[in-house]
């Protein structure tokens, strides 16, 4: 799943091995910059992993609501 996260949250996801930085993160796309915190979060395989991914999704939602 692709999610935009704060740089701090993106680093935490990457450090924990839960995803990888999007190939285009931090680059210029057609007419817009691709956010540096754009990550590909791996899909959960177990119920326990679902709760982790839901927390990451919550961080992404909070970041989207706070961005100006």
Asked if 5 and 22 count as a contact pair (C-beta separation under 8 A), the reply is no
- Produce one character per residue of 10-31: b if its CB has 16 or more CB atoms within 10 Å, e if not: beebeeeebbebbeebeeeeee
pLDDT tens for the 68 residues of the chain, in order: 999 999 999 999 999 999 999 998 999 978 889 899 999 999 999 999 999 999 999 999 999 999 65
The answer to whether residues 32 and 12 touch, using CB atoms and an 8 Å cutoff, is no
* pTM for the model: 0.87
Contact 39, 14 (CB under 8 A): yes
Q: Is 3 exposed, middle or buried (0-12, 13-18, 19+ CB in 10 A)?
A: buried
């Amino acid at each position: 799943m692709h999610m935009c996260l704060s740089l701090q949250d993106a680093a935490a996801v990457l450090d924990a091995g839960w995803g990888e930085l999007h190939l285009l993160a931090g680059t210029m796309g057609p007419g817009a910059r691709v956010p540096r915190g754009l990550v590909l979060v791996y899909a959960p395989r177990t119920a326990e992993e679902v709760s982790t991914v839901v927390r990451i999704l919550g961080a992404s939602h909070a970041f989207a609501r706070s961005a100006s």
